[in-house]
Amino acid sequence: MKRLLLVLLTCVLVAPVAPARAAERFETTVFATVPAPGYPAYVHVHTNGRVYAGTYAAVEAGTPSRVLEWSRKGTLLRSWEVPGQRAGAEHGVQVATQTRSGELVVLDTSTSTVRTLNTRTGRWRTVAELPGAVPNYATWARGG
């Protein structure tokens, strides 16, 4: 038995290694551009078929972050300014997911809060404060 095990182990250890695959090529295209200032942070595709992203690191004094909405084809439809951010400090928001009712769940680094945005009414609501922490890249399990 030991001899058989040794032979099998030797075969595994000296088995030829498959050559590395050639580098794969992928075609990419620009879906949409983000208006200045800032750049997109985490993109969320909503069940309504629209695409949402927040702007990040819009540091210019007095320029709050925004949540942007695009059509399926990449046409910018509208945007919402994030209220209550600390002007002049680094700030940004990510659209992390959506609620069952379709509101966007937005992570705000400036105020260390988790907010919701009702895209029908434009109403913002703070649902959690994270003192001493910066919310970043949330994930959600079944049942919330």
Residue range 71-123, pLDDT digits in tens? 999 999 999 999 988 767 778 899 999 999 999 999 998 889 999 999 999 99
Segment 7-36 shows an average pLDDT of 66
CB within 8 Å of 90: residues ≥ 6 apart: 57, 59, 109, 110
| Residue 35 confidence (pLDDT) above 90 | no
| Residue 13 confidence (pLDDT) above 70 | no
| Comparison of pLDDT for 17 and 105, the residue scoring more | 105
CB within 8 Å of 64: residues ≥ 6 apart: 58, 81, 82, 83, 85, 87, 91
| Residue 12 confidence (pLDDT) above 60 | no
C-beta of residue 114 within 8 angstroms of C-beta of residue 89: no
